Structure 1
Amino acid sequence: MSAKHYLHVAASIPGHLPSSSIIAALHDHNTALTLQALTCGHEKAPTTSPATLKDTYWYPPDQYPITTYNVTESITLFPGIGEYGRKYITFPSCFQNTKQGIKTRADAPGGVTVRAEFRVVQGGADGEIEGEGMGVGDAEWVLVEDVEVTCAWWLMPFVKGKMETAHQDVCRKVVEKVEMMRRQEAVASTSPKAKEGKGRGEGGEDIRTGFADMQREQYGKPGVVVYGEAHRDLQGVVEVDAMESQRVEMPAPLPDKITYR
């Protein structure tokens, strides 16, 4: 006889983060794969099991493709003795991108199946997560995860604990990761390299080329003179250095007669 257990987790999305940025992070499957507490490695599988594709849990796979990864988790069986008390298991974990986030299904050894759906939903007084507590329901947007685990009834006490350990903080970590990435992008945009565009026109175009030169040609304005570079004027392109080299230095004229007094 099998048993089922459900877990619902929610994390508020700060007002300065667009909901689309959270969905984009979920569509990068590395986000969810690396933020789970038990996962220690993964690699993309070449195919997805036909039996898994038939699961009615999915949206139509022809419209929403499914990607499978071989995931390795570290399970602690006997605490306090380090690696000797750990067991490593590898199993397929499938991901499907949706409009609101992702759907996942993992088939672990022992007949354990975990289905988890991440969704970005609207919060507020009438929101779907009303009553979650800790101010989550007051947020404009919320990231929620609904998990369902199925296994043999006698395995459930052990599986339930491990599943909750793996999933209880994923929503919060996803939001924190996106926030950190946007903060890093903001810092990078203020770096000296990002400021090298000073003295350039719109779109980073050098003022000596493009639109500026077109204006000079149209209105007969002289171009910018830069020694060692080509100078553009209405007569064409002339090397300034070449003009300098063609000058002939003439001695200063002397008087015809010198008179001493």
Structure 2
Amino acid sequence: MVQYKLLACLLVPSLMMINWRASHSRRVSTKIPESVDQNVIIRALHDQPSFIKLNPVVIDVNQVPTDPATYEVELFQTSKTWDPIETYMLSSMITIIPWIGPWGQKHIQFGTWLRNTESGIKTYADAPFGVSVRSQWMVQPDTTRGAEGRNSGSIFGIFNAHRDSGWMLVVERTVECVWWLMPFVAYTYDGVHASVGRDLVELAGVKGA
């Protein structure tokens, strides 16, 4: 038994030194309630500093000049917008080890780039530890709308009692990082995007009231 434990102690650090990169993509959508104007959601997405601050792990946002080379990034290539790419430096507090309070948290800083589109916004984040996240937020017609016009399964799950508007808030995101970080990173961003999506719809409902 001691030999197996010793082998495990040696094997785990060795595996973590292997920098295989993994990629994980996900598409999440939520139906927009009839009481919410979809154009208000698009305007909320275009208010970039406020949109960034909806992220529950972001504690500070500073806009900085954009490197012209950023316009060559494939994600930002679009023929439907003349909006510039904006660059921000973010400060975040992330939980690495849960249940031990501040001792399990780490303060990180990283760059993120945003470009408005006709239906929403595209974002790219270059975080520490080799983590990169590409995402696109879009307001789109709901092609799955049922005859009753009711919300039938939003991942955000708070508007199921309301008649929907025929529009959806869609998030497409791809995370890339070393393989052993992927479960933590994917879980974190799933939670972040769900929280931001809820807050966007709620904020649009208040502004449109």
Instruction: Report the CA distance between 1:60 and its aligned residue.
Output: 4.6
Among 152, 173, 177, the alignment partner of 1:151 is: 177
Among 39, 48, 66, the alignment partner of 2:58 is: 39
Among 178, 183, 186, the alignment partner of 2:204 is: 178
Q: RMSD of aligned C-alpha atoms?
A: 2.6
Gaps of 5+ in 1: 184-261
Matched pairs, number: 179
Would you say the 8 A contact 1:13–1:175 is kept in 2?
yes
Instruction: Report the CA distance between 1:155 and its aligned residue.
Output: 1.8
Instruction: Report the CA distance between 1:101 and its aligned residue.
Output: 0.4
- Superposed, which structure 2 residues align to 1:23-172 within 5 Å? 23-48=42-67, 50=69, 52-60=70-78, 63-125=82-144, 133-134=153-154, 139-172=165-198
Would you say the 8 A contact 1:9–1:171 is kept in 2?
no
After superposition, the C-alpha distances for 1:211-239 in whole angstroms (9 at most, x for unaligned) are xxxxxxxxxxxxxxxxxxxxxxxxxxxxx
Would you say the 8 A contact 2:37–2:204 is kept in 1?
no
Normalised by the length of structure 1, the TM-score is 0.62
- Structure 1 distance, partners of 2:164, 2:43, is 23
Match of 1:150, SS? strand
After superposition, the C-alpha distances for 1:63-103 in whole angstroms (9 at most, x for unaligned) are 33100110111111222332222101010111100000000
Match of 2:208, SS? helix
What is the identity, as a one-letter code, of the residue corresponding to 2:33?
Answer: P
Would you say the 8 A contact 1:7–1:147 is kept in 2?
yes
Normalised by the length of structure 2, the TM-score is 0.76
Which shows bigger deviation, 100-109 or 72-81? 72-81
What is the identity, as a one-letter code, of the residue corresponding to 2:183?
Answer: P
Instruction: Report the CA distance between 1:124 and its aligned residue.
Output: 4.2
Instruction: Report the CA distance between 1:13 and its aligned residue.
Output: 1.8
Match of 1:79, SS? coil
Corresponding residue number in structure 1 for 2:13: none
Match of 1:158, SS? helix
Match of 1:155, SS? helix
What is the identity, as a one-letter code, of the residue corresponding to 1:28?
Answer: D
- Superposed, which structure 2 residues align to 1:184-223 within 5 Å? none
- Structure 2 distance, partners of 1:98, 1:80, is 40
What is the identity, as a one-letter code, of the residue corresponding to 2:177?
Answer: C
- Structure 2 distance, partners of 1:164, 1:10, is 12
Does 1 or 2 have the higher relative contact order (CA < 8 Å, sep 6+)?
A: 2
Instruction: Report the CA distance between 1:152 and its aligned residue.
Output: 1.4
Corresponding residue number in structure 2 for 1:21: 40
Would you say the 8 A contact 2:33–2:164 is kept in 1?
no
Gaps of 5+ in 2: 1-19, 155-159
Structure 1 residue ranges (4+ consecutive) displaced by more than 6 angstroms after TM superposition: none
- Structure 1 distance, partners of 2:65, 2:199, is 29
Which shows bigger deviation, 151-160 or 68-77? 151-160
Q: 1:108 to 1:5 in 2, by over 3 A?
A: same
Match of 2:122, SS? strand
